[in-house]
Amino acid sequence: MATKKYEFPSRGFHIVANKVGEADYFLNQLKDVQGDYDKFSYVLSAFVSASRSITFSLQAVMSKYPGFDEWYLPHQESLKNNKLAKYFLELRNYLQKVGEVPVGHTGTMKNGEIRHFSFFIDIESIKDTPDGEVTRLAKEYFVDILRIIEACYKDYRVYVDPRVIFTTEGMSELGWSIEDIEECVGLPRGYTDIEWEGDDKEYQRLETLRREYQGDELMEQYFEKYEFYNTANK
């Protein structure tokens, strides 16, 4: 029995990748503005908002894909039980409603250089303040979110990874033909159905389309940066 042709929803995974990139940008900025207390507060607020929006974006993009709601439930529960993720969620709500950034700063002098250290301050509105340096805690939180994105990326790779879509295996799972890929990238159906040398015509057609229209893979750069070496498509 042939696989029914899958129709993609309008929202693509690149939206999630862009939100990951936004949070990654502010996380890097956070490290660069250590010692400038005002800038540190501004960037931290931006990071907290951007990182929280990643899972919102993931749900908005993936909700139309088969079985996602059930897939996401245990991951959603893991975030609820994650003390650090819970703190950053409450921090995000506090920053939006109040605006004050509950962070203190100190520093030490070593070999003529000041080493800055930022820490979260206990306030009544947020419980279970985590110990440790703010930029380190922010990175840990970001990586926890990125693990969920990686899991989604692996489990839904045929829908979200262009390197899989442009393969015979990907086409088979989607119920697509090469003509469907041609139409998807804006070419007439049958555009590559010409005479090719050799007996691997289908491979050559796919390789041509992949080379010209596959585009850049966005998420892999973040998996590599944060040392996620077990992605299915590495």
If one counts every other C-beta atom within 10 angstroms of the C-beta of residue 96, the result is 12
DSSP element (H, E) containing 27? helix 14-32
Beta strands, E only, the chain: 103-110, 113-120
Cα angle 162, 163, 168; round to 5: 105
Per-residue pLDDT, 142: 97
What is the model's pLDDT at position 16?
93
Give the pLDDT score at 232.
41
- For the chain, 234 residues long, the average pLDDT of each consecutive 10-residue run is 73 90 96 91 96 95 93 95 95 90 83 81 90 95 96 91 84 90 90 90 88 75 84 46
Cα separation, 43 vs 37, whole angstroms: 10
Can you give the pLDDT at residue 230? 59
- Residue 73 is predicted with a pLDDT of 96
At residue 2, the pLDDT reads 47
pLDDT given for residue 115 in this prediction:
82
Strand partners of residue 118: 105
**pLDDT for 229:** 67
Q: Where do the domains of the chain lie?
A: 9-156, 161-228
- What pLDDT, on a 0 to 100 scale, did the predictor assign at position 90? 94
Instruction: Retrieve residue 96's tokens.
Output: 């939006």
